[in-house]
Amino acid sequence: MKFQLQSFATPARLLEAECDCLVVGITAPRFKGLAKAIDQATDGLLTRLHAEGELAGKAGQTLLLQAVAGLRARRLLLVGTDGPAAGPAPEPAALARAAAKALAATRAAHIVWALGDDEEAWAHAVLEMQQADYRFDAYRTGEQPAPPPERTLSFATPDEKRHGALRARLSQAQAIANGVALARDLGNTPPNVCTPVHLAEAAQALGRDWGLEVEVFDRAAIEALGMRSFLAVAQGSTQEPRLIVLRYQGDKAKRAPVALVGKGVTFDSGGISLKPGEAMDEMKYDMCGAASVLGTLRACAEMRLKVNLAAVIVACENMPAGNALKPGDVIKALSGTTIEVLNTDAEGRLILCDALTYAQQRFAPAETIDIATLTGACVIALGHVRSGLYANNDALGQALLAAGDKMADPAWRMPLDAAYHESLKSRVADLANIGGRPGGSVTAACFLSRFVQGPWAHLDIAGTAWKSGQDKGGTGRPVPLLAQYLIDRAAS
């Protein structure tokens, strides 16, 4: 998808825009600006549609019209922008999403976008249009729907002085959208294809394409590093584990990097603590933390962001076998901490603890952010709207929350009180890998907090990394949140 900026001195000039579709925001019946000009040019068409109940103007409602007399656009898409009388204004992302959904059902290639009037509203337009046009058809045979056309979004602005800032923000949005698409592709790839080795190959391809340093460690190298907790999870699978390390150097070499640590369990059966069979196919998405790290790196590299990043991805399968990790086993982490395994389905923390230690020891990061589809308990707590956010540093936590809100990729700050750590005590080891059902997402985060020094945040994306049901598929979250956070950090 491409974008461009077009200057229109007055709303009336937009009526002369030749395009496949003109997208306009309306509040009915109080037509203003461009909507008023359209109503006048069409001999009161909008007024009549409103009177007939077809055009309420409520936020997110859309109406697509063909060949409207008085306009040179071949289609007119009306998008309601009228929020509730006693409530918050509709979010630009929600309006852009509604418009993008309607446009995705058309073959409109050149779209003039007159919905919203600032760079943030239009950044959401770029993101939502690319999301709406996303397809994953690599494994389908036979007759398939035609792919979406190569679209161009023309943003209507009366002020040429703003073009520089607008163009820069739209370029960022396009880079973020490309990162989201990469994360979605990796998450949607079936688990017999997207193995740990496949993730490593994807990282190497990303490195070649975008000039990143990439190292891949096989089982022997991981063992030599002393990452026994990671290998304990991997030992029940015939698929070989991989430790994947990437470096993006966008700032001065002396600047400490931000460490991004991603959980890459390419299939999670639960191990000996076997999961129920229903919807187990969705456990291919247990590598979405790793996918989001790769997507974020791609976005930052495309933006040439002035920030240093060190990414650590731990990739393996969690499978039951005669040699698999068992409840009751005691293992030793890279840090030297001994862990009593009470549930093998709490495996994410067992691989992440070694990854966090490795990141701390090797890179001495300015701050560390880990991303993982870690707990079903987070889904119970927050559903599928907000990711769970834990942070041992208020400035880092607030900055991540703000970035998520800005990009319509929201998170919610969760507690890390010392009292929660009590349930992780073990009678036979330094630490137990679960703390019981109450506060399961919290105690998982508390477990991880034992393996970091300095500013750290944990994003539990178990409820937001993919969708179930008719729209089943990876979402690419939290790539927008992470990319925006790094944009803000680079600018500070």
Bridge partners (DSSP) listed for residue 316: 265
- Ordered domains of the chain (ranges, CATH): 2-138+149-158 (3.40.220.10), 174-491 (3.40.630.10)
Asked if residue 82 belongs to a known ligand binding site, the reply is no
Express each pLDDT in 87-144 by its tens digit. 677 899 999 999 999 999 999 999 999 998 889 999 999 999 999 999 999 998 888 8
**Residue 152 pLDDT > 70:** yes
SS3 for 164-227, per residue?
HHHHHHHHHHHHHHHHHHHHHHHHHCCCCCCCHHHHHHHHHHHHHHHCCEEEEECHHHHHHHCC
Q: pTM for the whole thing?
A: 0.96
Asked if residue 185 belongs to a known ligand binding site, the reply is no
Asked if residue 347 belongs to a known ligand binding site, the reply is yes
Express each pLDDT in 180-232 by its tens digit. 999 999 999 999 999 999 999 999 999 999 999 999 999 999 999 999 999 99
Residue 362's pLDDT band (boundaries 50, 70, 90)?
Answer: very high
Asked if residue 286 belongs to a known ligand binding site, the reply is yes
Q: Which amino acids are annotated catalytic?
A: 275, 349
Report which of residues 145 and 479 the model is more confident about. Answer: 479
pLDDT of residue 350: 98
Asked if residue 332 belongs to a known ligand binding site, the reply is no
Express each pLDDT in 331-347 by its tens digit. 999 999 999 999 999 99
For 137, counting Cβ atoms within 10 Å of its Cβ (0-12 exposed, 13-18 middle, 19+ buried), the class is exposed
State the average pLDDT over residues 415-434: 97
Express each pLDDT in 370-393 by its tens digit. 999 999 999 999 999 999 999 999
**Residue 28 pLDDT > 90:** no
Secondary structure E strands in 204-340: 213-217, 242-249, 258-268, 308-318, 330-332, 338-340
pLDDT of residue 85: 63
Residue 397's pLDDT band (boundaries 50, 70, 90)?
Answer: very high
**Residue 86 pLDDT > 80:** no
Q: Are 251 and 308 in contact (CB under 8 A)?
A: yes
